[in-house]
Each structure stands twice: as C-alpha cells, then as structure tokens.
Amino acid sequence: MDIAYVLFSPKGRIGRRDFLRGIILLTGVSIIVQVGATFALPPLVLAQYVLIWSYACVFGKRLHDAGYSAWLYLAFLAGFVVLQVIVSNLLMPLLSPEVLPVQAELEAIGMTGDFAGMVQAMSERAPEIARLSALTSLAALLVTSAALALAGAQLKSDPHPNAHGPATGPGTSS
C-alpha cells in the first residue's frame, strides 16, 4: 500500500483491505490530534482539516472502486457528524458525568435570552468542557469511525475496470 496515494490522492480506486488500513491509520492520528488539542496544544485542532481531506481521499477511492462518485463521501461525512452527536449524547452521562453541571449552567445562561453572554460563557468554559468530556469524545470517535468504516468496507467492488481505474484485487490498490 502506497500510503501517500491512499491518504492524499483523490484519484483512483482502492480495495477493501487498503480502505480499512487507511481508516485505521486516520482514526489513530485523529485520536492523537484530539488528545493533543485537548490537553497539550489547542491549535493542534487545525490538523483535523488535513484529516478531513485524507478521509475524503480514502472514502472517495473506495467509492470509486464500487463504481460511485466520490461526492457521495459528503453523505458519509454528514452521517459521521450526526452519529458522533448521537453517540456523544448517549455516552456523556456514563463516561463524563462531571460535564453535565457545566452544560446545565450554560443552558441556564442561554435561557435568559442573553445570547452574547451565553457565547462568552461558552468560549470561556470551552477548554474545561473539552477536558471533562475527553473520554466521551474519544469513545464517540472510535464508535463512529468503526461504524462508517464497516459501511465503507461493505461496498461491493466493481470487478471490471471503470472510469476511475482498473479493478482492484483483494487488498491491492491501483
């Protein structure tokens, strides 16, 4: 597997095995970025934009292998966001109950109608919320990434050459 091709090129096709390898690698890097941004270097969060491109390249090539347009990745991205919110909300009381009073405090400020005050309070408390909910965020990232990886891996490869390149064999990249 040519790692630069898999992670940074939007062209071509990749089989199921290379797709899963790419997703596992990107998820590992995402975890490192998330932990680093939460506990050490907040500007590291900007690295997530590079990861979005890499995820798009990996999913795009997998979609090409199944005969679909890479633009369908936007549906996967939307699914990721929705599933991430759902899983985070389900896991928050279990894994990060200490963040719930902070959220309630911010909601109370929002209910007063003081939008500017709410935004200011949220920006002041954001690092605290990130630290308190780090375990939930990591668990949600793992669950969501696994679900979308399984969905992408289930796409059937087009056994014939298509507009995106020759057919991929099991675990090969073209």
pLDDT at 157: 94
Mean pLDDT, consecutive 10-residue stretches, the chain (174 aa), reads 90 96 97 91 85 96 96 96 97 97 92 89 92 96 97 95 87 45
3-state SS assignment for residue 68: coil
DSSP output for 93-112: HHH-GGGHHHHHHHHHHHHT
pLDDT of residue 137: 96
CB-CB contact of 174 with 168 (8 Å): yes
Beta strands per DSSP E along 73-171: none
Residue type for position 159: P
What b/e string do you get for 47-65 counting C-beta neighbours within 10 Å, with b at 16 or more? beeeeeebbbbbbbbbbbb
Q: What pLDDT, on a 0 to 100 scale, did the predictor assign at position 50?
A: 87
pLDDT on residue 1: 64
Contact 89, 39 (CB under 8 A): no
Closest CA to 88 of 77, 72, 99: 99
**Residue 49: its pLDDT value, please?**
86
Chain centre distance of CA 40: 20
- pLDDT score for 104: 93
Res 174: pLDDT: 43
Rounded Cα–Cα distance for residues 62 and 45 (Å): 26
